[in-house]
Amino acid sequence: MPSLNEGASSAISVKIGGLPIEIQSNDCDFITMLENRYAGFVERPVGAAIRLNVDIVPAGPIASDEDLHVRHEAGRWTMHRGDFRAEWDPTSRCGRVRQAAFPYAIDSVMRILHSLVLAEQGGFLLHSASAVRAGRAFLFSGVSGAGKSTIARLAPPDVTLLTDEISYIRPVGDDYRAYGTPFAGELEKPGANIAAPVAALYLLKQGPRNDAVRLATSDAARRLLRNILFFADDDSLVQHLFHSACRFVSRVPVYELTFRPDGEVWKLIG
Protein backbone atom coordinates (compact mmCIF):
# COMPACT_ATOMS: atom_id res chain seq x y z
CA MET A 1 0.00 0.00 0.00
CA PRO A 2 1.38 3.47 -0.85
CA SER A 3 2.55 5.73 1.95
CA LEU A 4 -0.28 7.52 3.72
CA ASN A 5 1.40 10.90 3.35
CA GLU A 6 2.21 10.54 -0.33
CA GLY A 7 0.67 13.52 -2.12
CA ALA A 8 -1.52 14.46 0.87
CA SER A 9 -1.57 18.12 1.86
CA SER A 10 -4.60 18.51 4.09
CA ALA A 11 -6.20 16.41 6.81
CA ILE A 12 -8.93 16.27 9.42
CA SER A 13 -9.82 13.77 12.14
CA VAL A 14 -13.47 12.78 12.59
CA LYS A 15 -14.10 11.25 16.01
CA ILE A 16 -17.31 9.24 16.44
CA GLY A 17 -17.97 6.95 19.38
CA GLY A 18 -14.51 7.63 20.76
CA LEU A 19 -12.85 6.34 17.56
CA PRO A 20 -10.96 9.00 15.56
CA ILE A 21 -10.56 8.48 11.81
CA GLU A 22 -8.00 10.73 10.13
CA ILE A 23 -8.83 11.63 6.54
CA GLN A 24 -6.05 12.99 4.33
CA SER A 25 -6.35 14.26 0.77
CA ASN A 26 -4.49 16.42 -1.71
CA ASP A 27 -7.86 18.08 -2.49
CA CYS A 28 -8.15 20.87 0.09
CA ASP A 29 -11.69 21.75 -1.01
CA PHE A 30 -12.78 18.20 -0.21
CA ILE A 31 -11.30 18.44 3.29
CA THR A 32 -13.01 21.79 3.82
CA MET A 33 -16.33 20.25 2.78
CA LEU A 34 -15.84 17.46 5.32
CA GLU A 35 -14.97 19.96 8.06
CA ASN A 36 -18.35 21.61 7.49
CA ARG A 37 -20.25 18.33 7.14
CA TYR A 38 -18.86 16.80 10.33
CA ALA A 39 -18.73 19.98 12.40
CA GLY A 40 -18.89 19.07 16.06
CA PHE A 41 -17.05 15.78 15.47
CA VAL A 42 -13.81 17.19 14.01
CA GLU A 43 -10.60 17.42 16.01
CA ARG A 44 -6.92 17.88 15.31
CA PRO A 45 -5.51 14.88 13.38
CA VAL A 46 -3.17 13.66 16.12
CA GLY A 47 -2.88 10.00 17.09
CA ALA A 48 -5.87 8.82 15.07
CA ALA A 49 -6.83 5.15 15.46
CA ILE A 50 -7.57 4.81 11.73
CA ARG A 51 -6.02 6.74 8.86
CA LEU A 52 -7.39 7.08 5.35
CA ASN A 53 -5.79 8.67 2.32
CA VAL A 54 -8.50 9.81 -0.11
CA ASP A 55 -7.72 10.16 -3.80
CA ILE A 56 -10.27 12.38 -5.53
CA VAL A 57 -11.09 11.34 -9.10
CA PRO A 58 -13.60 12.61 -11.68
CA ALA A 59 -17.13 11.31 -11.17
CA GLY A 60 -17.49 10.07 -14.74
CA PRO A 61 -15.40 6.86 -14.67
CA ILE A 62 -17.22 5.47 -11.61
CA ALA A 63 -20.37 3.42 -12.26
CA SER A 64 -23.23 4.69 -10.11
CA ASP A 65 -25.32 1.49 -10.12
CA GLU A 66 -22.87 -0.99 -8.59
CA ASP A 67 -23.89 -2.67 -5.32
CA LEU A 68 -21.76 -2.48 -2.19
CA HIS A 69 -19.22 -5.29 -1.60
CA VAL A 70 -17.13 -5.62 1.58
CA ARG A 71 -14.71 -8.53 1.90
CA HIS A 72 -11.67 -9.59 3.91
CA GLU A 73 -8.94 -10.68 1.50
CA ALA A 74 -5.23 -11.31 2.08
CA GLY A 75 -5.27 -9.67 5.51
CA ARG A 76 -7.07 -6.51 4.49
CA TRP A 77 -10.61 -5.30 3.94
CA THR A 78 -11.67 -4.29 0.44
CA MET A 79 -14.79 -2.23 -0.18
CA HIS A 80 -16.29 -1.04 -3.38
CA ARG A 81 -19.52 0.40 -4.69
CA GLY A 82 -20.45 2.45 -7.71
CA ASP A 83 -19.12 5.66 -6.17
CA PHE A 84 -15.94 4.49 -4.41
CA ARG A 85 -13.14 1.93 -4.11
CA ALA A 86 -11.41 1.46 -0.76
CA GLU A 87 -9.05 -0.83 1.12
CA TRP A 88 -8.09 -0.94 4.79
CA ASP A 89 -5.40 -2.88 6.63
CA PRO A 90 -6.64 -3.63 10.19
CA THR A 91 -3.07 -4.29 11.35
CA SER A 92 -1.52 -1.00 10.26
CA ARG A 93 -4.94 0.73 10.64
CA CYS A 94 -4.23 2.58 7.38
CA GLY A 95 -6.31 2.62 4.22
CA ARG A 96 -6.90 4.29 0.90
CA VAL A 97 -10.11 5.51 -0.72
CA ARG A 98 -10.65 6.42 -4.37
CA GLN A 99 -13.80 8.46 -4.96
CA ALA A 100 -15.30 11.55 -6.53
CA ALA A 101 -15.52 14.73 -4.45
CA PHE A 102 -18.87 13.89 -2.86
CA PRO A 103 -19.46 13.31 0.85
CA TYR A 104 -21.66 10.20 0.53
CA ALA A 105 -18.82 7.87 -0.41
CA ILE A 106 -16.59 8.76 2.56
CA ASP A 107 -19.74 8.61 4.75
CA SER A 108 -20.19 5.00 3.67
CA VAL A 109 -16.53 4.09 4.15
CA MET A 110 -16.54 5.46 7.70
CA ARG A 111 -19.77 3.62 8.55
CA ILE A 112 -18.27 0.37 7.25
CA LEU A 113 -15.08 0.84 9.26
CA HIS A 114 -17.00 1.69 12.43
CA SER A 115 -19.22 -1.37 11.96
CA LEU A 116 -16.14 -3.63 11.62
CA VAL A 117 -14.46 -2.22 14.71
CA LEU A 118 -17.66 -2.31 16.77
CA ALA A 119 -18.37 -5.92 15.80
CA GLU A 120 -15.04 -6.93 17.33
CA GLN A 121 -15.89 -4.99 20.51
CA GLY A 122 -19.41 -6.35 21.00
CA GLY A 123 -21.11 -3.20 19.74
CA PHE A 124 -22.96 -2.27 16.57
CA LEU A 125 -24.49 0.43 14.41
CA LEU A 126 -28.27 0.41 14.61
CA HIS A 127 -30.75 1.79 12.10
CA SER A 128 -32.44 3.95 14.69
CA ALA A 129 -32.91 7.39 16.13
CA SER A 130 -31.53 7.94 19.60
CA ALA A 131 -31.76 10.69 22.19
CA VAL A 132 -30.70 11.54 25.72
CA ARG A 133 -33.16 12.46 28.43
CA ALA A 134 -32.24 12.99 32.09
CA GLY A 135 -28.81 11.47 31.48
CA ARG A 136 -30.08 8.27 29.85
CA ALA A 137 -30.19 7.29 26.18
CA PHE A 138 -33.26 5.91 24.41
CA LEU A 139 -33.18 4.16 21.04
CA PHE A 140 -36.00 4.22 18.48
CA SER A 141 -35.47 1.61 15.79
CA GLY A 142 -37.34 0.55 12.69
CA VAL A 143 -37.25 0.23 8.94
CA SER A 144 -37.45 3.28 6.70
CA GLY A 145 -40.81 4.95 7.23
CA ALA A 146 -41.35 3.53 10.72
CA GLY A 147 -41.11 6.99 12.27
CA LYS A 148 -37.52 7.47 13.50
CA SER A 149 -37.27 11.06 12.29
CA THR A 150 -40.87 11.73 13.32
CA ILE A 151 -40.34 10.72 16.94
CA ALA A 152 -37.09 12.73 17.02
CA ARG A 153 -38.95 15.75 15.66
CA LEU A 154 -41.64 15.38 18.36
CA ALA A 155 -39.11 15.30 21.22
CA PRO A 156 -39.68 17.84 24.02
CA PRO A 157 -37.09 20.53 24.88
CA ASP A 158 -35.44 18.44 27.63
CA VAL A 159 -34.33 15.84 25.05
CA THR A 160 -30.95 15.98 23.25
CA LEU A 161 -30.81 14.24 19.88
CA LEU A 162 -27.94 11.83 19.21
CA THR A 163 -29.12 10.93 15.69
CA ASP A 164 -32.31 10.42 13.70
CA GLU A 165 -30.74 7.78 11.45
CA ILE A 166 -27.82 5.63 12.71
CA SER A 167 -27.18 4.96 16.40
CA TYR A 168 -23.73 4.03 17.68
CA ILE A 169 -23.85 1.41 20.46
CA ARG A 170 -20.91 0.10 22.45
CA PRO A 171 -20.69 -2.07 25.59
CA VAL A 172 -19.08 -0.49 28.66
CA GLY A 173 -18.71 -3.09 31.39
CA ASP A 174 -22.09 -4.72 31.90
CA ASP A 175 -23.95 -1.78 30.35
CA TYR A 176 -24.24 -0.15 26.92
CA ARG A 177 -23.66 3.43 25.88
CA ALA A 178 -25.10 5.31 22.91
CA TYR A 179 -22.97 7.93 21.18
CA GLY A 180 -23.98 10.84 19.00
CA THR A 181 -23.20 10.63 15.29
CA PRO A 182 -23.08 13.13 12.42
CA PHE A 183 -25.00 10.71 10.17
CA ALA A 184 -28.35 12.44 9.63
CA GLY A 185 -31.68 11.27 8.23
CA GLU A 186 -34.70 13.36 7.30
CA LEU A 187 -33.88 16.03 9.88
CA GLU A 188 -30.65 16.74 7.97
CA LYS A 189 -28.69 17.76 11.04
CA PRO A 190 -25.97 15.97 13.02
CA GLY A 191 -26.57 14.69 16.51
CA ALA A 192 -24.90 16.03 19.64
CA ASN A 193 -21.39 14.73 20.24
CA ILE A 194 -22.18 13.23 23.64
CA ALA A 195 -22.80 9.76 25.10
CA ALA A 196 -25.10 8.25 27.71
CA PRO A 197 -26.00 4.80 29.10
CA VAL A 198 -28.78 3.08 27.15
CA ALA A 199 -31.99 2.82 29.19
CA ALA A 200 -34.29 1.21 26.62
CA LEU A 201 -34.81 0.29 22.99
CA TYR A 202 -38.18 1.01 21.35
CA LEU A 203 -39.15 -0.76 18.12
CA LEU A 204 -41.40 1.66 16.30
CA LYS A 205 -44.84 1.03 14.89
CA GLN A 206 -47.22 3.82 13.93
CA GLY A 207 -50.83 3.32 14.99
CA PRO A 208 -54.01 4.95 16.34
CA ARG A 209 -52.82 5.20 19.96
CA ASN A 210 -49.67 5.42 22.06
CA ASP A 211 -48.68 2.19 23.76
CA ALA A 212 -45.46 0.45 24.82
CA VAL A 213 -45.32 -3.34 25.25
CA ARG A 214 -42.17 -5.03 26.53
CA LEU A 215 -40.94 -7.90 24.36
CA ALA A 216 -39.55 -11.26 25.39
CA THR A 217 -35.80 -11.50 24.88
CA SER A 218 -36.05 -14.02 22.04
CA ASP A 219 -38.43 -11.81 20.05
CA ALA A 220 -36.42 -8.72 20.94
CA ALA A 221 -33.15 -10.26 19.69
CA ARG A 222 -34.71 -11.42 16.43
CA ARG A 223 -36.16 -7.98 15.70
CA LEU A 224 -33.01 -6.16 16.81
CA LEU A 225 -30.91 -8.16 14.36
CA ARG A 226 -33.08 -6.98 11.48
CA ASN A 227 -32.02 -3.38 12.16
CA ILE A 228 -28.31 -3.79 12.89
CA LEU A 229 -26.22 -2.32 10.09
CA PHE A 230 -23.45 -4.61 8.92
CA PHE A 231 -21.97 -4.62 5.46
CA ALA A 232 -19.28 -7.32 5.37
CA ASP A 233 -19.49 -10.82 3.94
CA ASP A 234 -17.76 -12.39 6.96
CA ASP A 235 -19.21 -15.36 8.88
CA SER A 236 -17.05 -14.81 11.98
CA LEU A 237 -18.16 -11.21 12.51
CA VAL A 238 -21.78 -12.11 11.79
CA GLN A 239 -21.56 -14.60 14.65
CA HIS A 240 -20.10 -11.85 16.83
CA LEU A 241 -23.10 -9.66 16.03
CA PHE A 242 -25.56 -12.45 16.80
CA HIS A 243 -24.04 -12.92 20.26
CA SER A 244 -23.84 -9.14 20.77
CA ALA A 245 -27.55 -8.77 20.01
CA CYS A 246 -28.44 -11.54 22.47
CA ARG A 247 -26.28 -9.96 25.16
CA PHE A 248 -27.78 -6.53 24.51
CA VAL A 249 -31.42 -7.63 24.92
CA SER A 250 -30.51 -9.53 28.10
CA ARG A 251 -29.37 -6.24 29.65
CA VAL A 252 -31.53 -3.56 28.01
CA PRO A 253 -35.35 -3.63 28.03
CA VAL A 254 -36.88 -3.70 24.53
CA TYR A 255 -40.40 -2.47 23.79
CA GLU A 256 -42.68 -2.34 20.81
CA LEU A 257 -43.80 1.28 20.75
CA THR A 258 -47.01 2.02 18.89
CA PHE A 259 -47.46 5.76 18.52
CA ARG A 260 -49.43 8.52 16.91
CA PRO A 261 -47.48 11.43 15.36
CA ASP A 262 -47.93 13.78 18.32
CA GLY A 263 -45.76 14.74 21.29
CA GLU A 264 -47.89 12.78 23.76
CA VAL A 265 -45.87 9.65 22.98
CA TRP A 266 -42.94 11.08 24.93
CA LYS A 267 -44.94 10.66 28.14
CA LEU A 268 -44.19 6.92 27.79
CA ILE A 269 -40.43 7.48 27.48
CA GLY A 270 -37.93 8.13 30.24
Please, are residues 27 and 12 in contact by the beta-carbon 8 Å criterion? no
Q: 97 or 142: whose pLDDT is higher? A: 97
Confidence tier at 2 by pLDDT (50, 70, 90):
very low
In whole angstroms, what separates CA 6 from the centre of its chain?
Answer: 29
Contact 215, 235 (CB under 8 A): no
Question: Which domains, and CATH codes, for the chain?
Answer: 10-121 (no CATH), 124-268 (3.90.228.20)
Q: Assess whether pLDDT exceeds 80 at residue 61.
A: no
Question: What backbone torsions phi and psi does residue 27 show, to the nearest 5 degrees?
Answer: -100, 100
pLDDT tens across 8-56, in order?
A: 469 999 999 999 999 999 999 999 999 999 999 998 877 778 999 999 9
Which residues are CB-contacts of 173 (< 8 A; sequence separation ≥ 6)? none
Task: Name the E strands within the chain.
Answer: 10-16, 19-25, 42-43, 50-56, 69-73, 76-81, 84-89, 94-99, 124-133, 136-141, 159-163, 166-172, 175-179, 195-206, 211-214, 228-229, 254-259
Is 90 exceeded by the pLDDT of residue 240?
yes
- Residue 16's pLDDT is 96
Residues facing 204 on adjacent strands: 257
Look at the pTM and tell me if it is higher than 0.75: yes
pLDDT digits (tens, 9 = 90+) for 170-214: 999 999 999 999 998 898 889 999 999 999 999 999 899 999 999
**SS3 state at 183:** coil
Q: Which amino acid is at 125?
A: L
Alpha carbons 206 and 154: distance in angstroms, whole number: 14
What's residue 62's pLDDT? 54
